Structure 1
Amino acid sequence: MKKLFITPIFLFIVSISLLYAQDTVKKAGIVKPQAAKPYQTQAATAPVNTDRSLAGQYRYLLTKTYNYQQPVIAAFYKNFSDSLKAERAALKQARTTLASQTATIRKLTTEATIKDQVISSSNAKVDEIKLLGMSFTKAAYNTLMWGLVIGFGVALVIVIFSTAGYKREAKYRVKLYEELSEEFQAYKAKANEKEKKLARELQTERNKLDELLGR
């Protein structure tokens, strides 16, 4: 692609040089010799350029110019070829440098990736906590511990409230038992007193009966 871009410029410059040279020849009144023409007769077939390379187009251009113009074209072609070779050498060197830098970047990227993996592995080991043979991260361990603390706290609150209810119920039952016990004791005392009274009355009646029977 670079050749195709440079070749038209080269041909344009050479064409201008040829036109300038031909104009100079006309002004000087110099008659061009027949032997210097690139073709022998008017009926001769013009050569066709089949080589599209820079060297091929240069050779084709020589067939279209006079002999006295060819040294100028050859010098220009040599300078142009040298410049092109220098540019190609610089491009090759740049590509080599780019390839070397790309390899260095890939190497550094690989080393950075390995270091990141080592750091990640180290952080994972530092962040790891084992409990009952199971591995946990610090975040998971803290979450588990706080969950257990909250769970035990809720259970304790439930037990406390339940115990308070049971305690109130127990106090009520104890009070009720005491009241029933007092009532029973009072009833028992009354029954005992009544039993004694009935026993005395029975004994009195027996005594009266004995007196009547003359005992």
Structure 2
Amino acid sequence: MMKLFKLRTLILILLIGNTGFVYSQDTTKKANTVKSSTAKPTVTNTAKKPVVVKQQPTKPTTLTPTPVVTKPVRQAPDPALMNDKSLYGQYQYLLTKVYHYQQPLVAALWKNYNDTLNITRRKLKEAEAKIAVQAQKIDTLQTEVGTKADKLSTAKAKVDEISFLGIPLNKTTYNWIMWGLVIGLGALAAIVIIRSGANIREARYRTKLYNELDEEYRAHKVKANEKEKKLARELQTERNKLDELLGR
């Protein structure tokens, strides 16, 4: 914007200098025409016979006023305008440095500059409004992505944890507990087999229960993996949308 202002100021100075040069040429031509019009005619003396001329009353001579060329007067610069470094202050100071007939040119340039500046400001406001809307959309998408990430973390935690008797346990702890149960049940089954056949049947029943529990665990694990993959795909989709909006 400063470069545009300097360029227009330079053009204005050139226009003012050109106008002053043309005006000085016009005043020089007018002065030459005035001098040529006031030149006395040449008198040629021819030899003639003396003629008796009657004396007539002389008329009073009237002095014709000679045209005076007045130079354009500049306005005296105001010291307050010289100290004003704003754009409008510089414009007012420039008006004091030019002739009266040059002030319309400066005013026209000032009007064009103001129109261009207003258009630029309007475009800037529109761009800022668009940026604000896009920033709001980005914030909304980031919030949604954060929500999806929290859900995914919760799903992963659920996959890694198994509720055993209403108590959430880690997979490692759960495996240790399960293996401990298997070993205990095996030892118990051996004791029961040794002691009585009824205990053998009880051991078989408990082994069947364990197998069912193991199948449920596997089915739960498969469902949890499917849910985790689904949430991961949804998160990747939201990230792709965010990248498209950010122009990556």
TM-score by length of 1: 0.55
State the 1:35 CA deviation: 4.7
- Please report how far the alpha carbon of residue 10 of structure 1 lies from its aligned counterpart in structure 2 after TM superposition: 3.2
The match for 2:78 among 44, 47, 50 is: 47
Using a 3 Å threshold, how does the CA distance of structure 1 residues 119 and 55 change in structure 2: closer, same or farther?
A: same
- Counterpart secondary structure, 1:57: helix
Q: Measure, in 2, the Cα distance between the counterparts of 1:104 and 1:51.
A: 44
Aligned-residue sequence identity (percent) comes to: 32
C-alpha separation between the residues in 2 aligned to 1:37 and 1:16?
Answer: 18
Amino acid at match of 2:8: F
- In structure 2, the CA distance between the partners of 1:147 and 1:13, relative to structure 1 (3 Å rule), is farther
- Whole-Å Cα distance in 1 between the matches of residues 138 and 170 of structure 2? 35
RMSD: 3.1
1:187-202 aligned at under 5 Å gives the runs: none
> Which residue of the partner structure matches residue 87 of structure 1?
120
Q: Using CA pairs under 8 Å that are at least 6 residues apart, name the structure with larger relative contact order, 1 or 2.
A: 2
By how many angstroms is 1:119 displaced?
Answer: 2.4
Q: Is the 8 A contact 1:128 1:137 kept in 2?
A: yes
State the Cα deviation string for residues 75-132 of structure 1 (Å, max 9, x = none): 1111111001000111111112111211221121112111211222133224321235
Q: Distance in 2 between matches of 1:20 and 1:145?
A: 101
Structure with the higher helix share, 1 or 2: 1
Equivalent pair of 2:75/2:96 in contact (CA under 8 Å): yes
Aligned residues: 143
Instruction: Give the superposition deviation at 1:5.
Output: 4.9
1:77 aligned residue (98, 107, 110)? 110
Larger radius of gyration, structure 1 or 2? 1
Deviation at 1:22, TM superposition (A): 1.7
Shift of 1:50: 2.3
